[in-house]
Structure formats: C-alpha cells, structure tokens
Amino acid sequence: MCKRPFEDLCSMDKTIISRHNELVGPDDTVIHGGDIAYKNKLSVQNYINQLNGNHIFLKGSHDKWNKNGSYIWEGMIEKQYIVVCHYPMIKWPRSKYGSWQLFGHSHGNLKDYNKEKQYDIGVDNNDFYPVSFEKLKGILK
C-alpha cells in the first residue's frame, strides 16, 4: 500500500521486527500509533510476540484485529505532556500549553502540520524504526 522498499511481506516484517528490537528492550514501554498490522488476530499475535517491550496498541484504520482499542493515549513522560493518536490533529489536549501530539496514519506523506509540536511516529516516516522519547526531545522543542 505504501510502496515500501521490500521484496516481499516476509522481508518487511523481519526488518521491522529487527529494527524494533534493536532499539526497544524487554522492559521498555512502547506506544503504537495504530496500523500495527494488516492481518488477522492470530497472525498479529505471532507478530507482537516477536517484539521487545510492553505495548500499548492504539487502534488504527487498518486494525480490524484490535476491536476494543482506543484511538488516543494521553499522559506525561518526563514532565512532557503527550497525546498519541492514530490521526494527526489540528488541536489536541493541552496543545496551547506545549503538549506534543504524535500520530501515524499518514505513512510519512503528510507535509503540512505543526512540526514544533507534532511528529509522525509511523515506521514509514522513520526508516522502519520506532521513535524513542530521546529522539523526540531532539525533534520537538
């Protein structure tokens, strides 16, 4: 769907899983901004079982397997208020007070958004790696 640079689905999954585990340790918490997998629930669980970390899965537009998931997560990380939503927002909770809004959905194709307070955390926008909080601190001011 996104013209990803892989010869097949298996090599894409292997790369994404490998890059995820390269950065994420077993005790790290990962917030996924949706569209984790375009697969059925059984194959998604097999995929998830290969990923390091403790996971919060937000529901994306392709996540038919995630029946009870939420589209949004809000919370504090190191005194920074963060809103993660599958979709980019024009306004979000505490946006006037320096909060960050992290999103997926656009697969790296959205060019017009508030780059001081928002970031596309999808793998298509990040060389198929997850985005660490440390990296976000360098991107968002």
Check whether 108 has a pLDDT greater than 80.
no
Residue among 112, 108, 89, 111 nearest 100 (CA): 89
Q: Is the dihedral of CA 85, 89, 94, 99 positive or negative?
A: positive
Q: What single-letter DSSP state applies at residue 14?
A: H
pLDDT of residue 99: 97
Query: According to CATH, what is the number of the domain 9-139?
Result: 3.60.21.10
| Position 129 pLDDT exceeds 70 | yes
The helix/strand/coil state of 81 is strand
- Residue 84: pLDDT over 80: yes
pTM for the whole structure: 0.90
